[in-house]
A = this chain, B = another copy of it.
Amino acid sequence: MSLLVVGSVAFDAIETPFGKTDKIIGGAATYISLACSFFTKQVNLVSVVGEDFPTSDISFLQSKGVDTAGLQIKKGEKSFFWSGKYHNDMNSRDTLVTELNVLEKFDPIIPEKYQDCKFLMLGNLAPSVQRQVIERLVKRPKIIVMDTMNFWMEIAMDDLIKTISMVDVLTINDEEARLLSKEYSLKKAAKKILKMGPKVLIIKKGEHGALLFNENEAFFAPALPLEEVFDPTGAGDTFAGGFIGYLAKTEDISFENMKRAIIHGSALASFCVEKFGIERLSTLTSHELEDRIQDFIDLVQFEMSI
CB atoms of B187 and A300 under 8 A apart: no
A223 to B187, CA, bound (A): 12
Copies of this chain, tallied across the complex: 2
CB of A185 within 8 A of CB of B228, answer yes
Do A209 and B219 have beta carbons less than 8 Å apart? no
Query: Which of B185, B260, B298 meets A226, CB within 8 Å?
Result: B185
Please tell me if the beta carbons of B306 and A290 are within 8 angstroms of each other in the complex. yes
- The CA of A303 and the CA of B207, in the complex, are separated in Å by 23
A184/B222 contact (C-beta < 8 A), A208-B205, A208-B208, A263-B302 known:
no
A188 CA to B229 CA in the complex, in Å? 11
A75-88 vs B, CB cutoff 8 Å, 1 = contact: the mask equals: 00000000000001
List chain B residues, Cβ under 8 A from A298.
217
Q: Is the CB of B89 within 8 A of A302?
A: no
Residue A132 lies at the interface, judged by CB distance under 8 Å to chain B: no
A297 within 8 A of B: yes
**Is A106 part of the binding interface, using a Cβ–Cβ cutoff of 8 Å?**
no
Judged by a CB distance under 8 angstroms, whether A137 is at the interface is no
Interchain CA distance A306-B263 in the complex, whole Å: 12
**Do A218 and B211 touch (CB < 8 A)?**
no
Q: Is the CB of A185 within 8 A of B229?
A: yes
Least CB distance, A285 to chain B, in whole angstroms: 14
CA distance A202 to B185 in the complex (A): 25
Interface residues of A (CB under 8 A from B): 88-90, 184-188, 190, 205, 207-209, 211, 217-220, 222-223, 225-229, 256, 259-260, 263, 290, 293-294, 297-300, 302-304, 306
